[in-house]
Chains A and B, each alone.
Chain A
């Protein structure tokens, strides 16, 4: 066997190694091209995206804002306005609105709406759940009608 006398490494081994690396580089490039074009190769890498939402539910936010923007047919006020003007009526209407518009009553999926002042005095409560779901809940502030007064509206959903 021929050897590099100075380094003491067999030349054949070096040649074999270089040859292998060259062939593998070509093979790797080929595989990458196939993976990048699943339409050609039929390879499906099966990408899957998981969303680890640990705070609020997106649907919850939309449902809450849509509810507060909606107009009460009897008074002609938006529900956010109705809360400030008549919290008892607001409580009755909230129950009705959620069951009619988000169909939670039919699917049996629970929800709970709690309105408090900033110092946690209860103003209104509605919904089918006894306690507020911690994971899927969302909050909106709605102004009151006296200086510095605002309501904290918290919606909790099982969906």
Chain B
């Protein structure tokens, strides 16, 4: 391949120089190998979506508790130990649903970079003499949090269950509420 000595020297010189240069680059790269992976605003935006969905879900739960208290008050339920015995369930459920609708329609995201979908729910009830259990099901597709900054959507099922007891109702009844 290399017939002349000069040619051989030249070829090896080229190989040597390139290898040395490349080796130098690799060694330098190894010396500063501390990799920093920064998570910036977009990633924080994604993490915040989880918290935002939980906040919306909590708001639904608090609204359900208030709605049950207000519905009971609208029906003039007595503040006895077994206050829900003999409750007019149909009227209670209608009042509860109406109250919930008013609470949920005013909800907005707490984060201006995230948009929370309209909270749409259906309800199921279990009755005992001293408590009402409300099961709230978010209509499909659930609670949807969409980022205004990036193309990102986070969805949770949004199921909420709450027990409203007669003792809670007694506490609520210490204050007379304006009908909503």
Residues of A within 8 A of B (CB): 1-2, 10, 12-13, 15-17, 19-21, 23-24, 27-28, 31, 43, 45-56, 58, 61, 65, 68-69, 75-78, 80-81, 84-86, 138-148, 150
Contact = CB atoms under 8 A, between A and B. Distances in A.
B170 to A, nearest CB: 9
Interface of B: 1-4, 6-8, 10-15, 18-19, 22-23, 26, 30, 33-41, 43-44, 47-48, 51, 54-55, 58-59, 62-63, 65-66, 69-70, 102-103, 106-108, 110-111, 113, 165, 167-168, 171-172, 174-175, 177-178, 180
Contact of A47 (B18, B22, B35, B65): B35
B110 A145 contact: no
Contacts of A52: 38-41, 44
A68 to B, nearest CB: 7
A138 B66 CA distance: 23
A55 B171 contact: no
10 A-B pairs with the lowest CB-CB distances in the bound complex, closest first = A16-B11, A16-B14, A12-B7, A20-B18, A147-B180, A139-B110, A20-B15, A46-B34, A61-B51, A80-B62
Contacts of B15: 16, 19-20, 23
24 contacts: A2-B3, A10-B10, A12-B8, A20-B19, A27-B22, A28-B22, A45-B33, A45-B35, A48-B34, A50-B37, A52-B41, A55-B48, A55-B113, A68-B58, A76-B167, A77-B171, A81-B62, A81-B65, A81-B171, A139-B110, A140-B58, A141-B107, A141-B110, A148-B106
A12 to B, nearest CB: 4
A147 B102 contact: yes
Contacts of A138: 51, 110
Nearest to B110: A139
Contacts of A84: 66
A77 B14 CA distance: 82
Contacts of B19: 20, 23-24, 27
B4 A50 contact: no
